[in-house]
Chains A and B, each alone.
Chain A
Amino acid sequence: MQILILLIQIAILVAVVLLHVAYATYFERKIIGHMQVRMGPMLVGWHGLLQPIADGIKSFFKEDIIPDQADKSLFLAAPIICLAAMMVSLSVLPFAKGWALADINVGLLFIFAMSSLASYGIILAGWASNSKYTLLGGIRSMAQVISYEIAIGLSLVGVMMLSGTLNLSQIVEAQGNSFFGMFIISQPVAFFVFFIAMLAETNRVPFDLPEAETELVSGYITEYSGMRYAMFFMAEYIGMFVMASIGVVCFLGGWYGPFAVPLFPPIWFILKVYFIMFLFIWIRATLPRYRYDQLMAIGWKLLIPLSLGNIFITGLAMTLAQ
């Protein structure tokens, strides 16, 4: 019986998140459209509301091309790895008090593990396609993920020290109990590092080098068509969602808001996540792209020393406070 309930919960979560992915693309197109003095999707459904569904249907019924020289099994597996890893990391996210599928003690570590696993999918996709552009995209992605995973991890150490746990629900609770309410106030540097590394981790502008359109055509997904391409697309948007959620959980106070909402407690969580998603889109509409070596320089020369310094100062402050 318990398993059945769990399965239903998983099904609901997956359905909701997939719908979110579909409409995140819609919001992105709409918001960027309005920032660029145009309208975005308008004609498929009322104000283009059915646009993501049309895209989905079309992609599902497209021909599925596997290049002759590709490594077939890896080529097929890569999008699945990518999507599965991203989806699994959803299970530990606490949307509201008690609204987490698996409230495990190492939630934060689990998410890191899963997001690194997703980058395996990207690298495999780049390699298995046996095309030069995809390989370059895969290599770029690998280097980027390795360097920014460190920064993102170090930036969260301060949060772990303050809350004393790796459990995501308890991190939120710790913020609810703390004097300032949110860790962003006590850990602004960590949030800054986290935010930049988050952009890089999800391959968003200005760090969208693995799929830089004007350089590498479409980067690691150049050879993918139809549904497999859509799977990468979904994985990318779920990745954005997961990263934004970590930001909300660790820095913005999770499900806590100015007042409690009775019927649907995750509302504050979702609003905060969408605020971060809006920032993602805003940045995409504004900034140019970094060069590969500059990206590395920012990661190693700026973010990692900053977050190390942040850990030191946090530790110092905590010792002094005791």
Chain B
Amino acid sequence: MSRKISFNCPVQAGDEDRYRIQMGPQHPATHGVLRVDLDLDGEIIRKCNPHVGYLHRGFEKLAEHRTYVQNLVLTDRLDYMAAMANNVGYCEAVEKLLAIEVPQRSRYLRTMVCEMARLASHLLWLATHALDIGAMTVFLYCFREREELLEIFAELCGSRLTNTYTRLGGVRQDVTHSIMMKLEKFVDSFPSNLEEYETLIDTNRIWLKRTIDVGTVGADEAVGLCLTGASLRGSGVDYDIRKHFPYAAYDFMDFEVPLGETGDTYARYRCRIEEMLQSNSILRQCIERMPPGPIIGDDAPDLIMPNKPGRKVEVDVPAQQSLIKLVEDRETFMEGDVYVATEVPKGELGFYFVSDGNGTPYRMHIRSPSFLHISALKTMAKGSMLADLIAIIGTLDVVLGECDR
């Protein structure tokens, strides 16, 4: 049976000699459902137009119809490679809005899971980046390491990817001795494993040829493009939210922010590798300095919902949907707006809340790093070759769940 194929790329006037190619949404190298429309001249990209939105699930709208506690599960599905970091980011923002105090132990626990999530995410990034460039064995080695972390997650909160570990005012569950033992074992063995990947990749001439001087972006340009995270630090800009707006227990941690110089794909790759080592050292500090105490604060909002003294349930039926709004009588629960950013593996993840005193956010805006990174692709890919585009997408470390929300 013959079937019709069409490419949906109409030829416009003046474009007849351009070779138009549509990469994605189903393409092995677009990390999910990114679509990139390319104008090629031979193999050189003349124009690159990324299209996103193929995973737009309406997070921000959905959040307006749910309570602050209910919204926590949504954040897992943002950057599903590092769900823990998103949980922490969300909780930090809501706690600032509701002025909830977090006990010291749970701050340390949050730092710990954040860094574990960073390692898991960076390992996955290294795996897919290497696979995109063609080194398929690194892909599987990285997954081996990542699996250890995921199993620790599973033991900690019962889930591998979508953890929902944090709670407003603390975390859900304390660590057990066996988790700490496993983590310690991981922390001890990780640097030598990382070295193994580096020997596979970093000493490889082909890898260096494929990454050095590819997708170069200068410091000022990177700031203008609103790049954050390792993609920005690869260009030598010292901006890390863990240092600039310390949250959780990063105040008490001793770590460095690795910076690149050249701003090319290789510099970003080096930055992330160094970051993994720093994360490892933060994890070690967490294990050593973990303070005793409660894991959830006294003034944390209670999860047992209706009919508790001091709470009232208000049924509000707007025009087209019926939704029970749980209104909490908290003094600290005011009208206002707040923006809190955290450093997730991809970059700066910020939550902007507008509250009008209800139990649900009036407006929740998620500032996702991947969204801005993809928009930077347009500038970065121009003039490079088709194979470089793959390397650039890989090095920007985008995840479409976070980008499209």
Contact = CB atoms under 8 A, between A and B. Distances in A.
Chain A directly contacts chain B within the complex, with at least one CB pair under 8 Å? yes
Interface of A: 32, 35-38, 63, 65-69, 131-133, 136, 205-206, 208, 212-215, 217, 284-294
Given A214-B131, A215-B387, A292-B43, 20 more contacts: A35-B137, A36-B137, A37-B140, A37-B141, A37-B144, A65-B2, A67-B5, A132-B19, A205-B134, A212-B134, A217-B28, A286-B135, A286-B137, A287-B204, A287-B206, A289-B134, A291-B387, A291-B388, A292-B387, A293-B43
A110 to B, nearest CB: 33
Given A36-B140, A212-B387, A288 B133 contact: yes
Contacts of B201: 288
A160 B28 CA distance: 44
15 contacts: A63-B1, A67-B4, A68-B2, A68-B4, A132-B7, A206-B134, A208-B134, A214-B132, A214-B134, A287-B135, A288-B135, A288-B207, A290-B210, A293-B385, A294-B209
Interface in B126-184: 130-137, 140-141, 144
A12 to B, nearest CB: 36
Contact of A288 (B134, B141, B386, B388): B134
Chain A binding surface, main DSSP class = loop
A37 B143 CA distance: 11
B61 interface: no
Interface string B369-405: 0000000000000000111101000000000000000
A290 B385 contact: no
Interface of B: 1-5, 7, 19-22, 27-29, 43, 130-137, 140-141, 144, 200-201, 204, 206-207, 209-210, 385-388, 390
Nearest to B9: A132
A209 B135 CA distance: 13
Nearest to B43: A292
A67 B3 contact: yes
A293 B387 CA distance: 10
B199 to A, nearest CB: 11
Nearest to B131: A214
Contacts of B22: 132
B82 to A, nearest CB: 23
A291 B213 CA distance: 13
A290 B5 contact: no
A287 B132 CA distance: 12
A319 B140 CA distance: 53
Contact of B2 (A67, A131, A290): A67
Nearest to A36: B140
Most A C-beta atoms less than 10 A away, residue of B22, B43, B136, B140: B136
Contacts of A214: 28-29, 131-134, 390
B349 to A, nearest CB: 27
Contacts of A37: 140-141, 144
A131 B5 contact: yes
Nearest to B134: A289
A286 B144 CA distance: 17
